[in-house]
Structure 1
Amino acid sequence: MSAETDIDQGRAAFRDQRWTDAFRTLRTADQRGGLPAADLERLATAEILTGNRLTGMDTLVRAHEEYLVVGDVIGAARCAAWLAMHLGNAGEPARAGGWLARGQRLAAELTEPDPVQGLMLLPVALGALHGGDPEAAVALFSQVAAFGQKFQDKDLSALALLGSGQAALALGRAEEGLRMFDEAMVAVTAGELSAVPSGIIYCAVIGNCQLTFDFQRALEWTAELDRWCNARPGTVAFSGQCQAHRAELFRLHGAWDEALAAAAVAQQRAHDGDPWALYGGYYQEGEVHRLRGNLDQAEASYKQAARSGREPQPGLALVAMARGNAREAQTMILRAAGQANVAGRRSLLPALVEIGLAAGDVSEARKGADELLSFARECPRPMVRAVAAQADGWVRLHEGDHAGAAQALRQAWQGWLELGVPYEAARCRVLIGLACRGAGDEISARMECEAAQAELLDLGATAAAAWAATLMQAGPGTKTGASTGPNIGPNTGPNAGPLTRREVEVLRLVASGRGNRSIAAELYLSEKTVARHVSNIFMKLGLSNRAAATRYAFEHGLAG
């Protein structure tokens, strides 16, 4: 086979996003007789996407040099811009700065405006964003967006939207940022963008949704990223980050074995060529170990996560608290929160409240809870409301407001149930039990703690279950007469009947003919959890089989 044939096949494979085939054929052609600059750029992209990041960077340098040889200043500047961004993300600021300076010099030579000048602004805008100057980043991303609009460059426009959304979050404008993410994702899911910008936007949007407690968006976009990676065999870049996001969703849903499995895949993909999966893979592993009470293993995982350059908080501070070092833990979490931007600080507030209470600093905990309540009013999404209500109720317990605590905690409990987050729902029940005890209702207190302990044991959260058991054995409180607050019913729509939102989701998938394993994969649940949901659906609706459940779903407008 001739080098020309290899080049033609490599171009076709690249066009079809068959990255492994593109990498092999273009590399073979390169070894036989070299490649023109554009094909070297294609080879570099295929190498990066298949996990050969360092080789891909070297090939991108060669493409840059070949563009210079043939006098293509725009192509050379484009390669320099991407080298600056890749190196910046890899934690090599000096080399990134050198390539940025070279690209800027080349772009300045152009006599006519060109999209590459907008591309050159992206590393500068990202530097401002990650350097703690989101206001400057907003202005720079706006300039990038103007280039994208002027030249109808969809990659540039979408990346500008992503950056503007991240800057909005950093400035505390969560709703504005999320709207920008949604608009960027329209271009990604419509297939309008090239591969590397698509992967960047997928992973960044999911990470920022999780940062802002936007559980539903994170779930939706993680499923889309999973499909995107699976539809492009051989993709390593971004696939590890996808597995880390999957691990977080499994963890939240109480499917902890599945979370560990996904985290292990993320760690392997980090080794194989998706280095940005390192943090998430190890941090989520640490979270599962911490929740199970395996504190030494949790700390070891967090230390592995820290190799990425990111600080493993709040996990590390929560381990210190669990070991009885509440003051040390509070020092850690207050420092981390103080150094973070608005979005990062908000993500640390639930731990800041819990650790403050453990340290006996009710005043600091109240400040954190009030910040969360303010965030919930500004961004009233289900998980934000649940987090804020739980923090407020917990602090009210320590302030002696048992009636107010019970009301807030029941709202939080209902929110966690609707979201399908069993660990936090069970912890809320323990706190509700404490509120009942404080109000003098010992029977209800024991009932709540017993139910919570059973749920925590079922999850494998042995330390939290022991906490609940200890509280069951404690004596009754001294205050009487306070209400435990309303028992708010599930918000699942007019036709859902007695089903929770999660049970409706399961019922819809049952009605579509899906088995338990397929449903578990779709919703990031364990098969055991799905089986329990199906059993609850049958019991609540008085049904005996899946065919009857399917019929019910169609008759009540719950299918599809």
Structure 2
Amino acid sequence: MTSDAVSPVRLARGRRDWRAVHAGLAGARDELSTSDLGLLAEAAWWLGDSPESMAVSERAYTRLIAEGETHRAADRALRLALQWMVRGDVSVGMAWLARARRVVADLPRGVLHGYLLYVDAAADLDLTGSPEDADEAARQIDVLAREHDDPTLRSFALVIRGLAAVRRGHTREGFADLDQAMLPVVAGQVDALWSGDLYCTVIHLCDELGDLARMRAWTEGMTRWAEPQGRSFMYAHVARIHELQLLVAEGAWETVEAELGARSADLVGAHGWLAGEGYYTLGEVRRLRGDAAGAREAYGLARALNHDALPGAALLTAAGGSPGEALDELRVGLADATRLGRARMLPAAVDLSLAEGEPAYARTLAAELEETAEWFSTPGLLARAAQARAAILVAEDRPADAVVLLEQAAAVHRQQRHRHATATVHEALARAHRAAGRPDRADAAAATALAIHRQLGAVPDVVRLSGGAHRPCGLTERELEVLRAVAAGATNREVAVALVISEKTVGRHLANIFTKVGVGTRTAAAAWARDNGVA
């Protein structure tokens, strides 16, 4: 392209008008210089089109190698390695990393050697690498950071050292390094591609550790960083998905249901792992609301992106009447999972093992969860471990001991604003108090659990917990199930899905209910149900 043609594009880049940059270059891509190919790739990335950005970057890399621009080629290869890994194609990412390694080997020792060390160390840690190797990589990156006064390398060194410390069980020290690593990012001293990866790495770790308070703080930081970059910016979508994950815990399920599917779809070609996590989270919301078919669909989309969809898919199988099959699903998932991945599945596996008459296996799983929780010492993991041990204690006829653990877990869930977990721990408290001969406390805990489930719209839980109520006014058992679900706020469709009947049948049941109890609206029926101890 002529300098006259390129000049407006350069001006557009200076004011970060990426649409103008893309429009000025995309129509003439076969005529572009190597530098302008790189600029087109950059514009496509900022506009949220990672597949185009990566395709153009690969062409630019080939040109750079042919032109002998090995430093720029190595930088391009490292960026492509990260982009492919983030996209979810780890094997292609590792191939680009190997290509970058060969090119960097021919360069004098410099900043790019530190980038290579970072990507290598981060990949090794993801694949269960050793903290000792990570510490050595962090040390080497830090030396390069000091030699070249490079803020990005300083962040990389602190992130790898922090991740290694957490892996070693020194969680507080690790997060001190991780917090410090973000200072150059917040100051705008780190390229956006690498900044986004650093944020994602730490937020994912917080999620795995069950530390929702830290996850909120980091997600808020990521949102503040990403929002000014524009709505098309990939990491603005990433930050929103993390916000929606937190809203699930807080109980804003309708908001999540309305938004999360589209957000996840937008990231499929750019951030495949998080798109899979988004679909899994959507499946969880649908399962908890009683939409079994919708949950199954979302879990399938997650699995297509290499997410295991566990424990949710197994719990859906159990709710469908096949707890043994569900436990088998979890056995398979546990065999392939990392230590923290197993910690997410273990509570469900403990409950299903007890339900299936395998107390010895349940005790083994609970002991593992306790060991993991003590190792990382984070609130969420400790609460999960306490609940699992409490379930064992109740099964061993030691309900009073279970109550102590469950009250500790309830306090953590309240503090973390995890409402469904708060409801489930109150269900467990009700069972423990009842087994200990304290019916009044059991009834109070059960009432608390039921109230939270109603507020959340957790239709299956509401129906299940209300199952023993009396049947006034000649209502049939099915009519009572419909009425309880409606009183909990469920729509006709949600009731139909939860009870495996048609919406037309739900409508017919409601007409019968209105006649029998003498009301004319859903609102009045729900109020009647509450007044008469049905809901």
- The interval holding the TM-score normalised by the smaller chain is 0.7 to 0.9
Aligned-pair CA distance for 1:327: 2.3
Tell me which residue corresponds to 1:284: 281
The 2-side partners of 1:461 and 1:171 are apart by: 38
Aligned-pair identity in percent equals 28
Aligned counterparts, 1:459-498, within 5 A: 459-470=456-467
Residue 128 of structure 1 pairs with residue 128 of structure 2: no
C-alpha contact 1:429 1:452 (8 A) present in aligned 2: yes
2:14 match = 12
Match of 2:251, SS state, is: coil
1:492 corresponds in structure 2 to: none
Cα displacement (A) at 1:115: 1.3
**1:256 shift after superposition:** 0.7
Distance of 1:24 and 1:146 partners within structure 2: 42
1:118 and 2:118 aligned: no
Q: Secondary structure at the match of 2:15?
A: helix
Aligned to 1:482: none
Task: Please give the root-mean-square deviation of Cα atoms over the aligned residues, in Å.
Answer: 2.8
Does residue 1:425 correspond to 2:418, yes or no?
no
Change (3 A) 1:471 1:338: farther
Cα distance 1:92–1:253, how it changes in 2: closer, same or farther (>3 A)? Answer: closer
Equivalent positions of 1:391-470 (< 5 A) are 391-470=388-467
Return the offset for 1:193: 1.0
1:348-405: CA deviation from partner (whole Å, max 9, x where unpaired): 2222322222223233333333344344444444333332322222222112111111
Q: Which runs of no fewer than 5 residues in structure 1 stay unpaired?
A: 474-560
The 1-side partners of 2:448 and 2:99 are apart by 64
Paired residues of 1:118 and 1:143 also in contact (CA < 8 A): yes
Q: 2:32 aligns with which of 22, 31, 34?
A: 34
Shift of 1:325: 2.2
CA deviations 1:29-61 (Å, max 9, x no partner) are x65962452x43343223123222222112212
- Alignment-mate amino acid for residue 284 of structure 2: E
The CA deviation string for residues 254-285 of structure 1, in whole angstroms up to 9 with x for no partner, is: 11111223312422422574444421221111
CA distance in 2, matches of 1:426, 1:448: 9
Shift of 1:141: 4.7
Query: What aligned pairs does 1:150-299 form with structure 2 within 5 A after superposition?
Result: 150-170=147-167, 172-271=169-268, 273-299=270-296
Task: Classify 1:104/1:420 alpha carbon distance in 2 versus 1 (closer, same or farther; 3 Å).
Answer: closer
User: Quick check: 1:168–1:176 contact (8 Å CA) kept in 2?
Assistant: yes
Residue 302 (structure 1) aligned to one of 299, 302, 324? 299
Aligned 8 A contact 2:88 2:271 in 1: no
Q: CA deviation at 1:425?
A: 1.4
Q: Are the counterparts in 1 of residues 87 and 271 from structure 2 also a CA contact under 8 Å? A: no
Q: For 1:343, which of 340, 343, 347 is the aligned residue? A: 340
Q: Which residue of 2 aligns with 1:500?
A: none
Match of 1:231, SS state, is: helix
Q: Report the more deviating stretch, 73-82 or 387-396.
A: 387-396
Structure-1 separation of matches of 2:433 and 2:94: 60
Counterpart CA distance in 2 for 1:419 and 1:93 is: 33
The answer to whether the Cα contact below 8 Å between 1:240 and 1:277 also exists between their aligned partners in 2 is no
Aligned residues: 467
Distance 1:157 1:165 in 2: 12
Matched AA of 2:182: M
SS in 1 for 2:206: helix
- Deviations 1:134-188, CA, capped at 9 Å, x for gaps: 3545544543443333322222332343344445555555444433332222332
Secondary structure of the residue aligned to 1:440 is: coil
**Matched residue of 1:191: which SS?**
coil
CA shift digits 1:398-457 (9 cap, x unpaired): 121111111211222222222222212122222212122112222332232123212212
Match for residue 353 of structure 2 among 356, 362, 371: 356
Query: Secondary structure of 1:2's match?
Result: helix
Q: Does 1:53 align with 2:50?
A: yes
C-alpha separation between the residues in 1 aligned to 2:432 and 2:385?
A: 17
User: Quick one: which amino acid aligns to residue 356 of structure 1?
Assistant: S
Indicate the residue corresponding to 2:22 in structure 1: 23
What is the CA–CA distance in structure 2 between the aligned matches of 1:451 and 1:127, rounded to whole Å? Answer: 45
Q: How far apart, in 1, do the equivalents of 2:30 and 2:353 lie?
A: 65
Report the 3-state secondary structure (helix = DSSP H, G, I; strand = E; otherwise coil) of the residue aligned with 1:238.
helix
**Counterparts of 1:219 and 1:32 in 2: how far apart (Å)?**
45
Q: How far does residue 97 in structure 1 lie from its aligned partner after superposition?
A: 4.7
